[in-house]
Structure 1
């Protein structure tokens, strides 16, 4: 099955407003990891919106002072966390080794500058813990490349996720 490319440009104002609200709420928290230029909240929300569009499962836009606990979607009892990359050609699913795994499944979404997005693949928390440690310039981090997810047949959404029918 070919990857679906989503055009998020029509949602830009909504994503921007939501990301600014999150930034205002959480920007100063010690737990906030800002490893990218610009709003990481915008990027994360774009990834969550992509999964919502692909699956039909509504995204949670509620502002919670304690955050979402690392769960962007709860599907069939499985806690899913969306990780979004700006690398279109070779995105990597990355998690710090010291981060408590509060999700069961991690889903990689890629978003480009034109606000096109696609779901690249997924991995379990255990697979992330066993993933290669790579140093991207800020210390070693667990990383799985999209090509590895494809080789494992873990592309797109996990099999338990619903699929939107058009």
Structure 2
């Protein structure tokens, strides 16, 4: 049988050199800049007026927000570097181990969440959506399963359950 993998197009890898990646990159870097401007400007003023519980939550969430954005910016910059020929895919894979795209979630039910400035909550929500998109793209590019057909590692799940029931209740 001929090798069909030679003719397979890897869309996820190609997307990082596409117009949609450039849009994602611009959106991500724009959100980093917008967040920095907010936290240094109107966000700083708004934070001073918050009740104590919301003030503590604002401090914690702003650290999570900036960390989340810096991790995503790092990932986007790595992809741009490989697209521009500044790094090899292997170099990016090695550097990518330092980037976390999971975690840094927020608890919208935390005491004080509703007291946070709406503009701040909007930045958090937008960063979470962006994080999900970047993490999905990362998974598609770097963690996808091999294209080789796999053999099942166990029997049919229904048959397995029937066997367990027979074992539990006897062979009747």
TM-score (norm 2): 0.26
Structure 1 or 2: larger helix share? 2
Query: Normalized per residue, which structure has more strand?
Result: 1
TM-score between both structures, scaled by the size of structure 1: 0.27
Q: 1 or 2 for the larger relative contact order (CA 8 Å, sep ≥6)?
A: 2
